[in-house]
Chain A
Amino acid sequence: MSASYAAVGWNKQKKIYDWLIACLCFIYLLLFISVTLIINEQATFETLLIRSTSTLAVLLLHIILAIGPLCRLNKKFLPLLYNRRHLGVTMFTFALVHGSFSLFQFHALSNTNPIISLFTSNTNFGSLAAFPFQVLGLFALIIFFLMAITSHDFWLHNLSPKVWKTLHMFVYLAYILVVMHVMLGVIQYENDPVFVIMIFAGAITLVILHLLAGSKERKLDNMKFALQREGFVYVCPVAEIEDSRAKIFYIDKERIAVYRHNNKLYAIHNVCKHQGGPLGEGKILDGCITCPWHGYQYLPHNGQSPPPFKEKVSTYDVKIIDGKVWLNPAPFAEGTERPGAEIK
């Protein structure tokens, strides 16, 4: 969390994270290239470059897409999420090397402009076997490019979190394009079924992880709140909310986090203004609700980030009657101070 923009707000954990990314990428490239040269010594530099960077980018993409649901299922994966955008930019860089070198290798030094050639050399869009798979890779690369250049918080704030999030959800379209790029491309040439098996295993793993994470969310969203009184809804006994922690409730299509702090209960909108992180899964630190994803902070009584930060979320009224927590799902304007409910 920072009040001004820097290229990268380095800290110890980010440095460790990036070193690990660099080491893993180095290990992969070293292994892929050296093993290929040992058992397939006729390999050329161009092929090694194209294949090592593409396979690494696909592997990184799977890791990136797995981090989100893994964090929903187990909070101990959160350190992987914190700096995920660096992993994304790394993946894009390898995909870019693969894409630009392939464009040169397969389309340059010809009678047509390489970009035009990419779209016109193969126009068998009606045939799966002959489908122009390179175009699929190009569209995926464009999505990764847009995501990489907008990955900085500067763009998050200027595009608005909603637009930014929507743009970054296109990663799933890009993933489908990548899978089709591989399945309709190099796998049509290779003999060994291991490539198909690996792609399917990766896709199935991601689908299962997302379904499991989704089902956890659905349980929360399917909670029924039958008791209502003067606009308030009974949500849970006070004892169920731990100190400095929250419980999340889904009422009227909104997720609301009810926090316990200094013997009082406060309710705020559950969605962090930064990247939509679940504020109710955070913790109160130094008197501030702290988002578990990137550590953005909000004051419990008014939903405002402490100065000089300017983020604000909606607040809600909450009251306690006979040890039971009652919540009014009508939101107050973002940053509106509410008194909270005292626990007696």
Chain B
Amino acid sequence: MVDSLVREKQHKQELPEKTTATFVPQEQVSREVKRAPSRYRNELSKYIIRRSNACILCGKCAELCPQGVHVLKPGYKYFAAPQQQVCIGPACQKTDHYCVDHCPQKALQMVENPMMKLMGDYRWTADMILATWKMAETGEPPSPEYGYDYETGASGGGFDRIRFKFPEKPPVEVDESEIDTSIELNRRGDGRPNIRIDVPWYGGGMSFGSVSISTQLSKARAAAAFNTFTCTGEGGYMERLHPYDDHTITQVATGLFGVREDTIQRVRIVEFKYAQGAKPGLGGHLLADKVTSAVARMRETVMGISLFSPFPFHSVYSIEDHQKHMDWIKHLNRRALVSTKVSTPADVDMVAVGSYSAGTHIIHIDGGYGGTGAAPDIAKKNIAMPIEYAIVKVHDFLTKEGVRDKVTLIASGGLRSAHDIAKAIALGADGVVVGTAELVALGCVRCGRCESGRGCPRGIATTDEELSKQVNVEWGSQRIINLYSAWRKELVSILKAFGMRSVAELRGRTDLLMHLDYENNAEQRK
């Protein structure tokens, strides 16, 4: 209603920047990159070095290797376990320090790690997981020496077949320090705060219950460091998140678990989740084993009982109902922006325009190939369209309707790397939401066992007290900060290659993209 008045009478709402005070002092987190090695004793690597009994312990290999793969500690008779994760494999063969060739006893052998075959999948290849781990450790994009093919997955479609058409040299030389990667989230001009985030992404909603509190806090701290956001998911607002209120989105989903006036009023963005890419058309699932007493208390439910959120909101069967919902939030929190998270049905473009007209600031479309939580396998690949198509449809339709610059379009659902993020923006999104990549940074191997029992064996997507201790909040936030930092560097290098000073210039630049399965002759066809 308020927005209708703004539209009709051309007047701005006069609202102070903050109509409610920040509830608690906010934690400042540095975005400084610090090395955060794997928390596991034996890091998985793409290549493995085998040392045979012929080794005479001459130490030549340790002397030669600049990467430090071979470790012969002073005072020790034998080599320590090799640091295989830093071995660059076949790329080393062309150098003058290839240990295998220089070993006087021919006692060394370098082979591809056969376990890589078992790690990852078509969407998240083993290389992509290893590269994400490397970024989370160092804060830098992985050196090409490692030979990680991490910019695309092996799914054979969508982002994995789209490439940038980089010019031989940038049309304009731009200094990297001048490149702006921030995006604005409020384009409505409705008097509500114009929130800018420093990177064109924020963290996806993962509830307490689906992931541990350490995971949630790590995400929140990284969001604070990069002046962006994380989202509570549909599981309530943990007290320990309060120092990160300014970087947390309260999600209001169909089950309304843990939603209270307080949790709506303390944040700067409230997200309505109508559907999610992991299980479009179905409500959230939290299976019984993961509903511990702490989770049940937070959600005001019963321990050990599976929680299935309904679908859809039973109070929303039209855009008018949706507007009513939004007015409720806007009334409760006069400084909040409202995001509408929907999945990607055939009419996603209509839904997006409807949401805009109902007053949303952010349209968040979540494609079917993403998701982190438990979902029926039948829903994962069979319901709703992949995000690559949806971005194009929504961006075009919003443009045709003349409202593209009045709303922020956020895309998610299977975005795994900085390259995916840049491609999504070039297809027409303003920014993206990421989820799985953050979990991979924390050590996820995508074994897919997050949904039941004690939950994630890697201590990430679990509420089991013992398992969740595996992730230390300091370490976890540093890993995500490092990943964000590496991504930002990659994004900046992409923008620099195109001579762009801002990520906003990249939006909708489909002319900079090509598809490997097409003749790329759209111009001629016109």
Answer yes or no: do A and B interact. Answer: no
* A residues lining the B interface (CB < 8 Å): none
